[in-house]
């Protein structure tokens, strides 16, 4: 029953998805993604934001910090594993030391004592590990409920989900409660950010997509992404010579030293290179997506 209502909502969202596609090479499924984005927005307006706002106003600040810390502590286990998989051994051991301190002295993780003694928290997941290993982003994707992703991050996200200790917790009631509590807390922590997004963006879909892609790139390089030569444009634009080239994506990733890829030879700003870098992968649901595209007027 609930599943059917959900399916109906998804179909509606698909039908309502506006047809604006700008031919961005990073986002070949923009029509589909915009539909999913509209669905997520509607869901967030109806349930996500109200619940998160209520959560924020009902629970006092320290309690919300405990909830955040509790789930952040559990997450440190697999953050550590991913750091080890990326050969960042010191970081990985730090994460596990954090887990040990916070679980014991921090009382099942509700106090982040590790940060106070200088063991800093990291942000890692399987998508980042794949990126570190050289996997490109692939096409940008927006999933219902889960939001922005890419082909690579979807593959990583499935692994994250599979190993998620909270999801594997045994009594089903406790598990479901934990999952809802974690999601609510995470949404509440993002209330300010979504308000700023509302303020800043002209086209929220594009703004969120570009922010997501930039953010992921930064995370993969652990905050030291190579500075883009094109990141600065002054009065004398160099790309004037190619007027109808698609908007140069801000994100053209520079080939990394440890994993040289073919595009190195191309000129930094040429559209050809962009096309090579953002060669779309075919997602598993591509036939369904094409069918949805055709169904639209």
The verdict on 206 binding another protein (CB under 8 A) reads yes
- Cα(227)–Cα(230) distance, integer angstroms: 9
What's the rounded Cα separation, in Å, for the pair 249 and 88? Answer: 30
Q: What number of chain residues touch another protein (CB under 8 A)?
A: 55
Single out the residue of 7, 163, 174, 198 in contact with another protein (rule: CB under 8 A).
198
Report d(CA 153, CA 136) in Å as an integer: 10
Q: How many other C-beta atoms can be found within 10 angstroms of the C-beta atom of residue 67?
A: 21
Q: Decide if residue 44 touches another protein (CB under 8 A).
A: no
Residues ≥6 apart with Cβ < 8 Å to 39: 9, 10, 13, 144
29 Cβ partners below 8 Å, 6+ apart?
Answer: 139, 140, 141, 280, 283, 289
Where does this chain touch another protein (CB under 8 A) — which range of 164-172, 176-184, 214-222, 278-286? Answer: 214-222
| Interface with another protein (CB under 8 A), residue from 3, 58, 202, 257 | 202
Question: In the numeric block, which tokens belong to residue 201?
Answer: 């963006």
Q: Which of 219, 277, 289, 292 binds another protein (CB under 8 A)?
A: 219
Q: Which stretch binds another protein (CB under 8 A): 5-13, 130-138, 169-177, 249-257?
A: 249-257
Contacting another protein within 45-84 (CB under 8 A): 45, 65, 68-69, 72
Task: Provide, rounded to whole angstroms, the least separation between the CB of residue 13 and another protein.
Answer: 11
**Residue 106 or 156 having the CB closest to another protein:** 106
Q: Does position 201 bind another protein by CB under 8 A?
A: yes
Among 90, 170, 199, 258, binds another protein (CB under 8 A): 199
105 binds another protein, rule: CB under 8 A: no
Q: Is 196 in the site for another protein (CB under 8 A)?
A: yes
Question: Can you spell out the DSSP letters for 83-119?
Answer: HHHTT-HHHHHHHHHHHHHHHHTTTTTTS-HHHHTT-
- Residue in this structure with the two tokens 């959900």, named with its chain if needed: 6
Question: Under the criterion CB under 8 A, does residue 265 sit at the interface with another protein?
Answer: no
The structure tokens listed for 174 are 């406790």
Question: By CB under 8 A, is residue 90 in contact with another protein?
Answer: no
Q: Does 275 bind another protein (CB under 8 A)?
A: no
What are the distances in angstroms from CA 5 to CA 8, 12, 279? 5, 10, 36
**Residue 235 found at the interface with another protein (CB under 8 A):** yes
> Of the listed pieces 18-26, 126-134, 168-176, 281-289, which binds another protein according to CB under 8 A?
18-26
**Residue of 104, 214, 229, 264 interacting with another protein (CB under 8 A):** 214
Which residues have C-beta within 8 Å of that of residue 58, sequence separation ≥ 6? none
C-alpha to C-alpha distance for 161 and 165, rounded to whole angstroms: 9
Residue 246 is classified by DSSP as -
Residues of this chain that interact with another protein (CB under 8 A) are: 18, 22, 24, 38, 41, 45, 65, 68-69, 72, 112, 115, 120-123, 189, 192-193, 195-196, 198-203, 206-207, 210-211, 214-215, 217-219, 221, 223, 225, 228, 231-237, 239-240, 245, 247-251
């Amino acid at each position: 029953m609930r599943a059917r209502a959900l399916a109906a909502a998804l179909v509606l969202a698909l039908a309502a998805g506006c047809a604006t596609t700008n031919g961005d090479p990073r986002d070949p499924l923009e029509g589909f993604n915009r539909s999913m984005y509209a669905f997520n927005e509607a869901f967030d307006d109806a349930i996500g934001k109200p619940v998160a706002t209520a959560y924020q106003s009902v629970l006092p600040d320290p309690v919300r910090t405990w909830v955040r810390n509790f789930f952040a502590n559990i997450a440190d286990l697999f953050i550590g594993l991913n750091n080890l998989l990326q050969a960042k051994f010191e970081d990985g051991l730090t994460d596990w030391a954090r887990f040990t301190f916070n679980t014991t002295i921090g009382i099942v993780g509700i106090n982040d004592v590790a940060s106070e003694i200088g063991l800093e928290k990291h942000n890692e997941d399987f998508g980042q590990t794949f990126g570190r290993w050289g996997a490109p982003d692939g096409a940008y994707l927006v999933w219902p409920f889960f939001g922005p992703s890419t082909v690579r991050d979807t593959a990583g996200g499935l692994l994250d989900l599979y190993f998620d200790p909270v999801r594997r917790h045994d009594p089903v009631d406790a598990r479901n409660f934990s999952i809802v509590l974690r999601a609510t807390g995470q949404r509440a922590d993002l209330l300010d950010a979504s308000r700023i997004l509302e303020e800043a963006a002209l086209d929220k879909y594009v703004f969120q997509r570009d922010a997501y892609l930039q953010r992921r790139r930064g995370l993969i390089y652990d905050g030291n992404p190579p500075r883009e030569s094109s990141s600065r444009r002054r009065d004398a634009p160099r790309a004037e010579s190619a007027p109808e080239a698609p908007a140069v994506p801000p994100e053209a990733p520079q080939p990394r030293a440890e994993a040289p890829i073919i595009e190195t030879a191309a000129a930094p700003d040429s559209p050809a290179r962009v096309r090579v870098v953002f060669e779309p992968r075919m997602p598993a649901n591509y036939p369904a997506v094409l069918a949805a595209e055709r169904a639209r007027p």
